[in-house]
Every structure is written in C-alpha cells, then in structure tokens.
Amino acid sequence: MPAVKIRKAHTLSTPPQEDEELAALAKALGHPARLGVIRMLHERQTCIGCDIVDEVGLAQSTISEHLRILKAAGIITGKVESPRVCYSLNTEALEPLRCFLHEIAGQPAEVTKN
C-alpha cells in the first residue's frame, strides 16, 4: 500500500509568513479588555493610560500588560508626555487583517491610507 502524503492546506494566496503576522494581530485582539481599549482609542483618537484604566475598570498593572501586547503588535502607539503615556490607535497595522477578512468573506478589499 503506497504512503499517503499529507500536505498542509493553504487555500488563500497569502504566504505563510503573512499568516504568522495575521495570527499575531489576531492574538493581540483576542481579549475583551484589549478590544475595549481599541474601541476607546478609536472613539477618542488618543488617550492617557490612566484614563484607560478608569474606563476599562481593571487594575493598572493588568491594563499595562494589555497595552504592552497591543503595542508589541503595532496596533497602538505610545508617546511619552511625562509623566504619562498618551496612546493612539495605529489603524495601518490592522490593514493586513482587514484585507484578509474581506478576502475570506468574498468581498474585495480596498486599500485605505490615513
């Protein structure tokens, strides 16, 4: 009986390296508190860290960890305005994920630029 070769399915035209980038974005978005932070920054355009703590209602150390994860993924940026950090949303970082979701939903994605 001949051996059957099993290949990893890759149905869309995205290279595996881009899949890793998409997975990292999705993982960073994978917590309700982080989604709340993103919604807040989207509505306000910019926000000081202590305002995020007050709005989300979690401990400051917990919010700091969520902000670190979002910043590491490039989804938010932080500008030091001593003694505070002012955060803002980096929508360009989400563009690959938006295009991917449009592609799998069967809708053409238009590239947007800020």
- pLDDT of 78 over the 80 cut: yes
Structural domain that includes position 21? 16-104
Q: How big is the chain by its Cα radius of gyration, in Å?
A: 18
DSSP reduced 3-state for 30: coil
Residue 2 within any structural domain of the chain: no
Residue 91 is assigned to a structural domain of this protein = yes
Residue 65 pLDDT greater than 60, yes or no = yes
Number of domains in the chain: 1
Alpha-carbon gap, residue 4 to 71, rounded angstroms: 44
Is 44 inside any structural domain? yes
The answer to whether residue 11 is domain-embedded is: no
Distance CA 107, CA 110 (A): 9
Query: Is 93 contained in some domain?
Result: yes
pLDDT tens per residue, range 31-63: 999 999 999 999 987 778 778 888 888 998 999
CATH code: domain of residue 52? 1.10.10.10
